[in-house]
Structure 1
């Protein structure tokens, strides 16, 4: 994942700092320019650079004003904040930038750590930031989704999950690819949202993905690799009549047992969950399915419900992992969730592991598994099986993932 050379523009009112940063950045193989007074800057100059190092406390025009102007660009540069203000202020500004669809690589407090700056400039061109996918309305998606499900043409991919220390294959998660036949690129979030508007389509979609996922899992088990398949399970589907029987039947049709399947439920889906839904979760566990609480840390409700839920696994939200690269509080939250999982006796998965430092962080705490672009992007099943078989087709062998570790 070696990054290419970056073009950098430094906006800071301290000329000696700008000169030192230019020298540092250039010596690392990147190019750099600087300006101490944004009033003398033609903002169009920033449209052609990869990264802007932005001092939030510019006297003539503060960094938030600069951010607001960058939103007018079709492809705004990435941002690295530099400031003497506290971490809490930097984090709020970073959140505002994210809501404006600006990409923040990190924030540096003065005096700057040169190596930390160079690490931020060494971001990958893919993986850390999701590809832009056109947003489409439900009216455009729903008919195409129904047709694709009926034809069995909706593509499903698999993202490996690996043991944190050895990187040994430990299963995979089944995911929509973001392509809808007859429409083209569509965000998986939009596909699920469209399906949710029609309960029968949501059930069909869930059973469809589960069927493909279970058959894929059966193939890697037959090839000698152990590890369950994880599938997202909307709570609305769980509450449908005969849902448990249908889920078991789909899994058994693939020659799997429920113990080979982990259903992932989000914090939001369990927020204010009713007695009926809690009963169904208990029944899923009694049938032998694993249950994972996904996106843990996104909202407090999930942590509060952990003691009452029959989960076997918790997945730390990828945004927590991303924030932990920069923010001390996020790293503390990450550590707390990992330790909580250990004390509760459930497996802990860190999602969104995209850089070597993310893996290093996960190995520092009681994390069991990692998942993310550093290990592998989501892949079609044949590609995943080839990656496994290339490693002697034995559970005893590790797999050479993207990390090279």
Structure 2
């Protein structure tokens, strides 16, 4: 039974209700003295606690889609897949499967486009990361066989899973709709987690002696995708965006690697890494790298390239309102910055769904095909 299935949630909630009713019925009998009644009371309390926690956890997971499968929950999604075959362009990209888009005519690639699940192997970072690639219908249409497309890397928050970027954050459907309405050019979307280790929040930082997350997203990923798909290779062909931790990652990569990305979008972004149990020690005493990871410090102390930035926040409901204002103030030429400030909006999917359409339009106006 799927971790995110409504059936599992209903079964667990029903079991919780039945267990509570049984506890009420049995409690007078368990109130007697003696060893067995005491053990019975302990068992009833523990069972109810486990079921209540399971109900709350499953409800939260279905709401925020933190884990998509039992393997994901157990931290096994990062293992090297043993199935699939190499996509055109070599072994850096391994195709795992295809699925239709959630649009009209979605089962016909030249009408609705297509979504491919892949594994990307980093040449320099040696990381292997799963991703979804949205190919627009124009990619398959006659006459476009040699056409190259712009590409945008789209990152989730942490914890999160790449499936979030298909639904409930409908990136492919939104891109398809906007392109059909002539509000943005057709583009390839590369959708994935902001970490090269699913169980560790590496936050696009090259950890000394550990995962080379910045190298993967800044260098390996554009090279691998442009080698496997008809995607341009110049920075003017590439953008990167994300929400929350993924937004920090996107801004960091675009800020510090303008030679590879022309634009970066942070939806409700952080502006410095969060150091906690999920991240572990990201710097191992490297004070210079720790300063560099603070984007506000970087804007003040490091040269700014020609990248363009879009940042979003809310006057009520977001904790990044003041840091976002500071980020906007610190961006200087030749870099450029735009911002979206909502009157109210929490740090959640509902807010980001409001911001995704204008963000994609903004990206479409700043990158293009070769």
Task: Give the TM interval when normalised to the shorter protein.
Answer: 0.3 to 0.5
Q: Which structure: greater helix fraction?
A: 1
